[in-house]
Amino acid sequence: MDASRFVKSAESRSLWNYTLSPGWTDAEVDILTKCMMKYGVGNWSLYKKLGVLPGKTTAQLNTQTQRLLGQQSTAAFTGLHIDPKAVFMDNALKQGEQYVRKSGVLINTGGRLTREEIEALRQQNMEKYGIKKEVYDAITIPTPNDDAALLAQIEDIQAHNYLVDAKIEVKRKELEAKMARVQRIRDLIVAKGGTLPTPPAPAEDGPAAKRTKTLDGNAAASS
């Protein structure tokens, strides 16, 4: 990658006008950007394993990556060590009726690319935007604030518990509705002079009559 194309941090704030996805902070975007540069674009499992973006799902990582690159399709950048700022600014210069944007991101309007076409674009992107190994090896990934990480974990747990509670509540209401239907049927039978069936008595050798063995080997019901 040409040194003139590498966007310096002092310039990036005014030129790199990416949009934040809901739930993202500028500090988290900085971490994601450095992860893309150091570990390659789209390496979600590694990002999450490192624990530097606690609470972020694969979908959230993908959406914010699209916004950092300024385009919806990221397949031709997968695994590449690139500076997303340079890609974003090139995309920002693309003007005309053929370019459709949503939330600042170029939307795919053409046909689906073949694997060969994607690989060809990937090679072009590596030559145009790729950064040298000594550069990305030297990148340090900021560690998120411990309090913020803990808060994110707590929020995840609370969200999970909320979903579990909601599912339990749905099942409880379903059970109550079934029991109410059964009771209405029983009431209707009684109202018409019918007789409700008597529950069968438990079998003598069933669980209700716990049996023990006497010393001489004969079975006897326990009290």
Q: Give kind and range of the element (H or E) at residue 36.
A: helix 26-39
pLDDT one digit per residue (tens) for the chain, 223 residues? 443 344 444 344 444 566 777 788 888 899 999 999 999 999 999 999 998 998 899 999 999 999 999 999 999 999 999 999 999 999 999 988 888 988 889 998 878 889 999 999 999 999 999 999 999 999 998 776 655 555 665 666 676 666 777 778 888 888 888 888 888 888 888 888 878 777 676 666 555 445 544 444 454 544 4
- Residue of 53, 43, 83 lying closest to 152 (CA atoms): 53
Residue showing tokens 């560690």: 143
CA angle 136, 142, 144 (to 5 degrees): 150
